[in-house]
Chain A
Amino acid sequence: MSETPDDILIQRAQQGDEDAVASLYRRYVPAITRYIGYRISDGSAVEDLTAEVFFQMVKGLPRFRVTGAPFEAWLYRIAGARVADYYRRAAREQSVENTLDETFQPSPELSVQQREELDALRAALSQLSDEHQTILILRFVERKSHDEVAQILNKNTRAVATAQHRALKKLAELLGTSKKGRHYIRGKSS
């Protein structure tokens, strides 16, 4: 049985259909959680920010207009803004650096090795610009095509490909990825 298209769910959600809202949430919560989880290490913050994105979705739905752009583009924009807010707030409180590794509680089924790999990737990604982080996460974590990434970011495909190249190059430098092996910028290695 095929999934109900986004447009239909959006229309129903805009009329106050709780099931339609829940369907949209269930459809997009894995990707949004991954996006936030690859950018923020504090597990409780990941949950809070993910929830905020969808609360914002419900609040904004009455004004949302279907324009042909993917619905998830809107969610990623909200998520990006929430992450930026989080870091601004954290910078003011100067506490995020101290809690980066200590408080992160990702999915309990992750092995120690997986957690270390996630820490390394996240730490390296955090050195990139917001847009480069988003491009890499959408392209490789979410496995989206260049066209899809371009559509979500409202950019042309060529610009996205060029930015992706730069972002990967920078990330490779940060991760020290080469034939000789890897080292992690936060002092951890596999």
Chain B
Amino acid sequence: MSRDFPNDMRDFIERLDRAVPPHTKTVLDDGEADPLVDVARRLAQGPDVQLSAAAASRIEARLRQQTAALYRPARFPPRLSWSQPLRFVAAALVIILLAGVVLTSASANSLPGDRLYPAKRAAEDVRLALAPDASEANLLVDFAGRRIDEFLRLMLERGEFYPQALEEASDELNQALDLLAGGHGDRVTLEPRINTLTQRQAQSVELAAPLVAAQKQQELQEIADENKVIQRRLTIGGWVPLFVADAAVIPIRVSAPNPREK
């Protein structure tokens, strides 16, 4: 009992403890006149309330049933032995997928020569391989745009001349046109985009021409010639022209090969 209690409180509790000692059922001291002690004694001497033996047994039986039901082993058959490795493989795939997503986003701005650039290209290859025929042309146009951007960034930000990027852009635009000519993809949407990209490509060549050495000019010229072929193809519905520079262009129809079959 705390010593901080006021004296009257301590006295009262001591009188109660004398009248109603804890853990005892002994005869209570009847000499107190304090009404509080009296009411405490009435409570202590109050009638006992208990369940009947039948009710107590009934509850106990239900408790046993409940316990048995709660802890009974599950009724479904044990897991098959191959489920564990399957879960492991699934977990590994999820990890690889997540790692791929992280790597792809990290490599999005990489340029040729960067450590993450191969990851960027690998991701593009995967997307291309998984894309349905109708979306393939669209992806190729997207990737061609990236190649032109990469060429410009390398030249303007790092002072590097990397004509392969423009060559690859031409290849991708040609593949996209092949698919469109074969009826795969949305011509109405893609042809204007291809047109815009060929113009950007031509501007890039013009921009690079005064900056590169004479021996590189030939490469630029080849890119410019290919650019004209693509522009010409746009005007004749994806057909491949025999000659571009001359007025007498005789278009021939190609059987739009599927890039996947290469």
| Secondary structure dominating the interface of B | helix
Chain A residue with the shortest CB-CB distance to B37: A168
Residues of B with C-beta under 8 A to A162: 9
Residues of B with C-beta under 8 A to A103: none
| Chain A residue total in the interface (Cβ 8 A) | 56
A113-149 near B? 1/0 per residue, CB < 8 Å: 0110110010000000000000011011101111010
Bound Cα distance A50, B52 (Å): 12
Residues 52-67 of B at the A interface (beta carbon under 8 Å): 52, 55-56, 59-60, 62-64, 66-67
Binds A, one of B18-26, B108-116, B175-183, B212-220: B18-26
Residues of B with C-beta under 8 A to A136: 40, 43
For residue A155, give the distance in angstroms from its CB to the closest CB of chain B: 13
Chain B residue with the shortest CB-CB distance to A179: B33
A172 within 8 A of B: yes
Residues of A with C-beta under 8 A to B51: 29, 33, 46-47, 50
Asked whether A29 lies within 8 Å of B59 as measured between CB atoms, the reply is yes
Asked whether A18 lies within 8 Å of B68 as measured between CB atoms, the reply is yes
Among the listed B23, B35, B42, B59, which residue makes an inter-chain contact with A51, where contact means beta carbons less than 8 Å apart? B59
For residue B172, give the distance in angstroms from its CB to the closest CB of chain A: 61
Interface extent on B, as a size class? 35 or more
B74 within 8 A of A: no
Residues of A with C-beta under 8 A to B38: 172, 177-178
Asked whether B49 lies within 8 Å of A16 as measured between CB atoms, the reply is no
Could you say which of B2, B4, B25 has the most chain A C-beta atoms within 10 Å of its C-beta?
B2
Bound Cα distance A25, B67 (Å): 12
For residue A170, give the distance in angstroms from its CB to the closest CB of chain B: 10
Given contacts A33-B49, A136-B43, A171-B39, 10 further A-B contacts (CB under 8 A): A46-B49, A46-B51, A58-B63, A110-B47, A139-B40, A140-B44, A143-B25, A143-B44, A144-B23, A177-B39
Residues of A within 8 A of B (CB): 13, 15-18, 21-22, 25-26, 29-30, 33-34, 37-38, 46-47, 50-51, 54-55, 58-59, 62, 106-108, 110, 114-115, 117-118, 121, 136-137, 139-141, 143-146, 148, 157-158, 161-162, 165, 168-169, 171-172, 175, 177-179
Q: What are the 3 A-B residue pairs with the smallest beta carbon separation, nearest first? A: A16-B71, A37-B49, A140-B43
